[in-house]
């Protein structure tokens, strides 16, 4: 399996200029590929990937309008063409149904004002030197903040500049799955907003609410930005301050999600979660809290780490009434408003905490589906 290892890099002032030029050239080649494909389609013809790369890179370098493409590594330009090919194929596969998941939109043109700029280089465009510096073709040796060693030689590296002006090197490395020793426990997880997660074993994970805690600081930063004159250097400097404040919130949320997901995967042999419609909830009146909770990122981490460490991860259908079923006797007690956090079963009289009861039901339903997949004669309780 392939994993990404991301490290902060510290280019010099000259290297930052060279990287900015590489970002711009890659962006122009990507846009030229999209434009040439659109023109060919409008004319009733189809361009192959090879012909498209020939026109957007090889022939473009010979024209006065694109002669400056020779100033950057050809690997960067070729990979920009590959990105354009892949985005177009993914779009066609999505609308035809060959690609799973939500329907993708048509590829859009890249802008110099995009918050994220990136280039990708394959093995013939970069090297990790003996002095632990990263050599990039036509850019030079860049200092890297190594936080850990790479398990294998990387097959490619993506250089990224984010909205806060930080530079990162993201390596793609082929690794073998590491199967952890078998654990005795299984757990079901009920995600929420007030409490981030309640586990079926009674464990409660409090929601850190990183955005809510930083809201006052962010509001002041945005107010200061709105007072700066457009196009001024003060506005550019304040924009960076706003981006860094948002980056600090995102980094803290990502780090916290990594730690919580790793702990859950290491301690449990099987993990069962509800298949929440995160994209739909993120467009509701709870959008701000849903985004702040980071459910989608947390679930994605659980899925990836379960596959990497040999754990079982099951999903329970989103329409399964986990909050309406008594986890003691299995009686269906009907829907309840969100304001009701504790309720008593009318059949057996057991008093339930709403979230803990839902987590227990998710565990039972997920385990039933898991055993069914293994050939056992077990079905959902409701």
Catalytic residues: 190, 274, 355
Cβ-based neighbour number of residue 213 at 10 Å = 12
Of 298, 278, 302, which is closest to residue 290 (Cα–Cα)? 278
Classify strands 2-10 and 156-161 as parallel, antiparallel or unpaired.
unpaired
Question: In the structure encoding, which two tokens stand for residue 84, read together?
Answer: 């354009």
Please identify which residue in the block is written with the tokens 């060693």.
149
For residue 316, give the DSSP letter: E
Of 150, 118, 135, which is closest to residue 3 (Cα–Cα)? 150
Distance CA 310, CA 180 (A): 7
Cβ-based neighbour number of residue 176 at 10 Å = 9
Cβ-based neighbour number of residue 254 at 10 Å = 15
Distance CA 228, CA 234 (A): 7
Backbone angles phi, psi at 379, to 5 degrees: -135, 170
Residues 6+ apart with CB under 8 A from 280: none
Residues 6+ apart with CB under 8 A from 357: 322, 323, 325, 326, 327
Question: In the structure encoding, which two tokens stand for residue 37, read together?
Answer: 């494909």
């Amino acid at each position: 399996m392939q994993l990404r290892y991301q490290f902060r890099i510290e280019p010099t002032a000259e290297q930052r200029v060279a990287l900015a030029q590489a970002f711009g050239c890659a962006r122009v080649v990507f846009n030229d590929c999209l434009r040439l494909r659109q023109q060919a389609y409008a004319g009733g013809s189809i361009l192959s990937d090879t012909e498209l790369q020939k026109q957007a890179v090889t022939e473009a370098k010979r024209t006065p309008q694109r002669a400056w493409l020779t100033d950057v590594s050809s690997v960067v330009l070729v990979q920009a063409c590959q990105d354009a090919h892949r985005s177009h194929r993914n779009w066609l596969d999505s609308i035809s149904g060959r690609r799973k998941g939500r329907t993708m939109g048509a590829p859009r043109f890249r802008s110099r004002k995009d918050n994220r700029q990136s280039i990708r280089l394959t093995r013939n465009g970069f090297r990790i030197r003996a002095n632990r510096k990263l050599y990039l073709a036509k850019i030079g040796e860049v200092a890297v903040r190594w936080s850990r060693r790479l398990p294998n030689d990387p097959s490619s590296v993506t250089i990224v500049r984010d909205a806060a002006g930080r530079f990162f090197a993201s390596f793609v490395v082929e690794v073998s799955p590491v199967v952890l020793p078998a654990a005795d426990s299984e757990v079901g997880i009920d995600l929420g907003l007030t409490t981030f997660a309640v586990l079926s074993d009674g464990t409660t994970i409090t929601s850190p609410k990183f955005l809510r805690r930083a809201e006052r600081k962010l509001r002041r930063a945005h107010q200061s930005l709105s007072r700066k004159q457009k196009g001024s250097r003060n506005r550019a400097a304040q924009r960076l301050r706003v981006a860094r404040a948002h980056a600090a919130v995102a980094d803290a949320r990502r780090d916290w999600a990594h730690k919580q997901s790793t702990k859950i995967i290491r301690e449990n042999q099987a993990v069962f979660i509800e298949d929440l419609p995160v994209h739909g909830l993120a467009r509701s009146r709870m959008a701000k809290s849903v985004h702040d909770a980071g459910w989608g990122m947390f679930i994605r981490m659980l899925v990836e780490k379960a596959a990497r460490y040999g754990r079982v991860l099951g999903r329970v259908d989103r329409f399964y009434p986990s909050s309406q079923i008594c986890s003691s006797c299995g009686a269906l007690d009907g829907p309840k408003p969100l304001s009701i956090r504790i309720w008593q079963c009318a059949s057996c009289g057991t008093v339930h905490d709403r979230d803990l009861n839902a987590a227990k039901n998710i565990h039972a339903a997920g385990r039933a589906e898991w055993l069914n997949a293994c050939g056992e004669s077990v079905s959902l309780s409701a």
